[in-house]
Amino acid sequence: MDIGGTLVKIGRVTPGGGIVERRDLSTSPDPERAIAEIAAAVAELRAGENIAVGVGCAGLIDRVNGVVETSPNLAEWEGFPLGPQLSAATKATVHVANDANAFGLAEALFGAGRGHRLMVLLTLGTGIGGCVVEDGLMRDGAHGLAAEPGHMSIMMDGLPCPCGGRGCLERYVGGRAIVERARAGVESGATDGALLRWVGARLSDLTPRDVFEAALEEDEFCHRIFADAGRALGFGLVNLVNLLDPDVVILGGGVALAGDILLGPARRVVHEHSMVARRRMPVVRDSALGESGGLIGASLVAREGGSGSR
Residues 169, 72 share a domain: no
Residues 299, 280 share a domain: no
Buried b / exposed e along 259-269 (16+ C-beta atoms within 10 A): eebbbebbbeb
Residues 185, 91 share a domain: no
pLDDT at 254: 87
Domain membership flag for residue 158: yes
CATH number at residue 58: 3.30.420.40
By the 8 A CB rule, do 172 and 235 touch?
no
Please give the DSSP secondary-structure letter assigned to residue 143.
Answer: T
Q: What share of the chain is helix, strand, coil (3-state, %, to 5)?
A: 45, 20, 35
Residues 134, 46 share a domain: no
User: What's the one-letter identity of residue 197?
Assistant: R
Query: 238: domain range?
Result: 116-287
Q: How far apart are alpha carbons 98 and 2 in whole angstroms?
A: 9
Residues 100, 145 share a domain: no
User: What tens digit of pLDDT does each residue of 74-107 get?
Assistant: 889 999 999 999 999 999 999 999 999 999 999 9
Domain membership flag for residue 149: yes
Number of domains in the chain: 2
Domain membership flag for residue 109: no
pLDDT at 188: 85
User: What's the one-letter identity of residue 273?
Assistant: H
pLDDT at 6: 83
Question: Dihedrals φ, ψ of 25, to 5°?
Answer: -125, 150
Residues 221, 151 share a domain: yes
Q: How far apart are alpha carbons 126 and 179 in whole angstroms?
A: 10
Q: How far is CA 270 from CA 31, 122, 158, in A?
A: 39, 15, 20
> Could you list the mean pLDDT of each consecutive 10-residue stretch along the chain, which spans 310 residues?
90 90 94 96 89 92 92 89 96 93 93 95 91 90 87 94 93 94 87 74 81 89 95 97 96 90 94 93 91 92 66
Domain membership flag for residue 309: no
Q: How far apart are alpha carbons 218 and 202 in whole angstroms?
A: 20
Residues 147, 27 share a domain: no
User: What tens digit of pLDDT does each residue of 150-163 get?
Assistant: 999 999 999 999 88
Q: Where are the beta strands (DSSP E) in the chain?
A: 2-3, 7-13, 19-26, 52-57, 60-62, 67-70, 93-98, 118-124, 128-134, 137-138, 248-252, 283-286
pLDDT at 22: 94
Residues 92, 125 share a domain: no
Domain membership flag for residue 310: no
pLDDT at 307: 47
Residues 298, 276 share a domain: no
Residues 229, 179 share a domain: yes
Closest-CA residue to 239 (of 115, 122, 104): 122
Domain membership flag for residue 111: no
Residues 148, 75 share a domain: no
pLDDT at 250: 95
Residues 184, 82 share a domain: no
Specify burial of residue 51 (Cβ count, 10 A radius: 0-12, 13-18, 19+). Answer: middle
